[in-house]
Amino acid sequence: MEKLKNIEFERIIIVMTLIFLFIGLSWILIADNNLVGFILLGLGLVGVGFLFFFHLEQVKKFLKEFQWDVFTQKISYILIILGILVVVNLIASKRFFRTDLTSEGRFTLSDHTINLLKEIKKSEKKIKMIFFRSEVSMISTVEDLLKEYKARSSQIELEIVDPDRKPQMAKEYNVRSIGLPYGGQRLFGSVIILCNGLKEEVDVLKFDYRQVGGRVQPQLLLKENIEKDISSAILRVTKSKKKIYFSSGHGEVDLEDDEKTGWSTTKIKIADENYIIDKVYLPSLGKVPSDCDVLIIGAPQKNYSPREFEILDKYLDEGGHLLILLEPFVKADFNPLLNKWGIRTSNKFVVDPKSSYWFQPIIPLITEYSFHKITEKLKFATFFPTVTPVEILDKKPQGVDIQPIARTSDESWVESESRPKELKFNPGSDKKGPITIMVALEKKLDNNKDIRLVVIGDSDFASNYSISSYGNLDFLLNAINWVAGKEELIGIRSKTPQIREIMLTQQKINFILYTCVFILPALVIFAGVFIWWRRR
Amino acid sequence: MNNILSIIKKEINHYFASFVAYVVLFVFLFVGGYYFYIYVFEVRDAARVMPFFLNFMGFLAFLLTPFITMRLFSEEKKTGTIELLLTSPITETQIILGKFFGALLLFLIYTSFTLYYLIILFIFGRPDIGPIITGYIGFILLESAYIAIGILLSLTTKNQIVSGILTLIALLVFWIIGWIGNYFGRPMQDILQYLSFLKHFEDFTKGIIDSKHVIFYLTVIGFNLFLSVRLLESRETVK
């Protein structure tokens, strides 16, 4: 009788244990609050332990009967096999073969990205990606994409962080959430990419209006071309630092000068953008250094010699990247170099009474820019203390894309006199605005190189005194970055998964419910009972 | 080969003669069917129902496998028929493979019932066939790994319940080891996550076949079956 009770008791424990384990695990898998799940799981494990204790005699007997000496003899053989298998898995984890069978090729990275990852493999750089994401299924697509990067490259380390759970980490990397207007839902979706102490951030969410059931509502959506953004960011962080040379010897801007007109602060700010800065005196070298990524000519006081112009001309022709900053009133004349490219400069200055810095008409304030890579993300105004016009000639060389970037207002003019008694527009001699004060030129060459040239009619805007005000710093850095050709991977098509909606009616729902949940299992039980009955 | 086939046949006959096979199948279809219904109702995207469902099926199979494997050797040992088997001209490897494929075939029969869900999906929607194929391949590999572990543990005891519980614990460990890994730093984290059955199964359900995952499962299956053969060969340890 007691034994029977024991058996029943044991059965109850087995059933309870299984139920606890099942619900506990399901809870942890499905629900957000894991605590209850872990408690249930714990109870299940207690049940398992209890059953062990219940069968202690059997466990002891098993251990006693088990012949350990024979076992240890065999174990070395087994360990060798295990070792081989571990090695096989280690090799296999470096990947041989991976194929994506989804119809849209959702998990297939573009050839551009795969080539990029191959390049990184050669350079043996370690990349860390941290994905700050909220728990929303829409963002999972990006997580899948990042996992593909990781699967394709052993050098990529991926960490997925829920910023709501680790707010200090989100703060450390300065990750912000994006939210709907009027205090709506806020979500995180940013990929931080780190390599060589460089950091890039790719935001994957955008805010847009969508038509939902006849009404237009604001919604948070995934950006397009996320793969392109991520690959471009990887490209940027993995490239070695670019080198900027400042031409010297003609009274150019002084990179070590701490005074208001010096460039010491500016130099630090440029270096922060991942550049190595050096000076070059062209006549002594006879050429532009071969490791030069950007050559900056910063407001020389004296003119360059024809020999130097030859060097610069050759440099540009072979795919050079040149940034020229000018100043009015000086003798330096760059027309011998620039006319060929359809650009003319002078040493006159621009007066702008309508849009100026603190009502000083000789310091034009630019609030609107033409559409260009340099200015597309510029949010602030920029001011230029004494600026000289940079004119685009009607006759432009072929195959060259030349754009005016910044223009003064329509009430501005080019003052023809260098020391006018009074700042007044003279219709006869002065040229009426808007006046272009900056141009950007680009020409693609056959050998995958490109010529990039930016000419700005001022250098004071980037001096220690002005660089931190308004948008001046961004303006300068954007210009340098564009001239340097900070890479963007283009031609990566975005893949948004299609939704293949199941059109459900109440009838269909009932059909699925009854056939799947009741009829099919019931048939199985009937079959079982039938066979059992027949056997009896 | 004939020996293996005859064991498989014997095993399948034996399974379906007992009521356990039907109860397990009933639970499998009842719980599975309910979750399928929930996924269809909640997700409403024909391309995403099966990945969700196959993931759940992997979980369900881990709870049900011990009920099938626990009796494989424990019962034979208890009733003494193992001696008959071992003294017959059938080799130990054949016995293990026969038992393994017998249990696997049983689960394939179970799984074949889920094709009914596929038919529903194809009638009511336009599912993506790629991830379904890879998902089933992954499920079969996962289930094979469960069975291989179950066979090994069933060999260690003649008490069915102990064998079943041991298998359940072992599978549970392999299932949650990835989460445990999250509490460790690298490289421990990487190792634990590599051992997780769940992590390797995930890609299959999404539509990806990666040699890494296939080799992982084949390793687990192969090693457990190898150990089982060794254990069976050393009869002294298997009284």
pLDDT-based confidence at residue B236 (cuts at 50, 70, 90): very low
Q: Which CATH architecture has domain A243-484?
A: 3-Layer(aba) Sandwich (3.40)
Phi, psi at A383, each rounded to 5°? -120, 150
Identity (one letter) of the amino acid at A345?
Answer: T
| Yes or no, beta carbons of B215 and A78 under 8 Å apart | no
Residues of A in contact with B226 (CB under 8 A): 78, 81
pLDDT above 50 for A490? yes
Contact B186, A67 (CB under 8 A): no
pLDDT value for A215: 66
pLDDT-based confidence at residue B239 (cuts at 50, 70, 90): very low
Interface test mutation site (partner A, options B24, B26, B119, max chain A beta carbons within 10 A): B26
pLDDT value for A30: 61
Residues of B in contact with A81 (CB under 8 A): 223, 226
Residues of A in contact with B134 (CB under 8 A): 101
Query: Is any Cβ of chain B less than 8 angstroms from the Cβ of A60?
Result: no
Cα of A523 to nearest chain B Cα, Å: 9
| Yes or no, beta carbons of A500 and B37 under 8 Å apart | no
Nearest CA in chain B to A68: B237
Neighbours of A80 (CB within 10 A): 10
Residue B165 has its nearest CB partner, among A48, A98, A521, at: A48
Q: Give CA–CA dist A38/A439, Å, rounded.
A: 65
Domain ranges of chain A: 2-91, 111-237, 243-484, 501-536
pLDDT-based confidence at residue A143 (cuts at 50, 70, 90): confident
pLDDT value for A334: 92
Q: What is the average pLDDT across A122-130?
A: 87
pLDDT value for B238: 44
- At A154 the three-state DSSP class reads coil
Cα of B87 to nearest chain A Cα, Å: 21
- For the domain with range A111-237, which CATH number is right: 3.40.50.880, 2.30.29.30, 3.30.70.2470, 3.40.30.10? 3.40.30.10
Query: Is any Cβ of chain B less than 8 angstroms from the Cβ of A524?
Result: yes
- Residue by residue, what is the 3-state secondary structure of chain B? CHHHHHHHHHHHHHHHHCHHHHHHHHHHHHHHHHHHHHHHHHHCEHHHHHHHHHHHHHHHHHHHHHHHHCCCCHHHHHHCHHHHHHHCCCCHHHHHHHHHHHHHHHHHHHHHCCHHHHHHHHHHCCCCHHHHHHHHHHHHHHHHHHHHHHHHHHHCCCCHHHHHHHHHHHHHHHHHHHHHHCCCCCCHHHHHHHHCHHHHHHHHHHCEEEHHHHHHHHHHHHHHHHHHHHHHHCHHHCC
Interface test mutation site (partner A, options B124, B159, B173, B183, max chain A beta carbons within 10 A): B124
A111-237 and A243-484: same fold?
A: no
pLDDT in tens, A13-44: 888 888 888 788 777 766 656 778 888 889 98
pLDDT in tens, A515-525: 999 999 999 88
pLDDT in tens, A71-125: 777 778 888 888 888 888 888 776 678 888 888 777 788 877 888 888 888 888 8
Residues of A in contact with B237 (CB under 8 A): 66-67, 70-71
pLDDT in tens, A271-325: 877 788 999 999 898 899 999 999 999 999 999 999 999 999 999 999 899 999 9
Window from A126-130, A530-534, B142-146, B178-182 with minimum mean pLDDT: B178-182
| Yes or no, beta carbons of A95 and B128 under 8 Å apart | no
pLDDT above 90 for B101? yes
Q: What is the average pLDDT across B163-184?
A: 83
Mean pLDDT of chain A: 84
Q: What percent of chain A is modeled with pLDDT above 90? A: 27
Residues of A in contact with B227 (CB under 8 A): 78
pLDDT above 50 for B237? no
Cα of B211 to nearest chain A Cα, Å: 5
pLDDT above 50 for A168? yes
pLDDT above 80 for A379? no
pLDDT value for A246: 95
Cα of A143 to nearest chain B Cα, Å: 13
pLDDT in tens, B129-162: 899 999 999 999 999 999 999 999 988 877 888 8
Cα of B77 to nearest chain A Cα, Å: 13
pLDDT in tens, A328-376: 988 889 999 999 999 999 889 999 988 888 888 899 999 888 888 888 7
pLDDT-based confidence at residue B222 (cuts at 50, 70, 90): very high
Mean pLDDT of chain B: 86
Cα of B225 to nearest chain A Cα, Å: 12
Q: What is the average pLDDT across A228-249?
A: 86
pLDDT value for A461: 93
Neighbours of A468 (CB within 10 A): 11
Domain ranges of chain B: 2-237
Q: What is the average pLDDT across A228-234?
A: 85
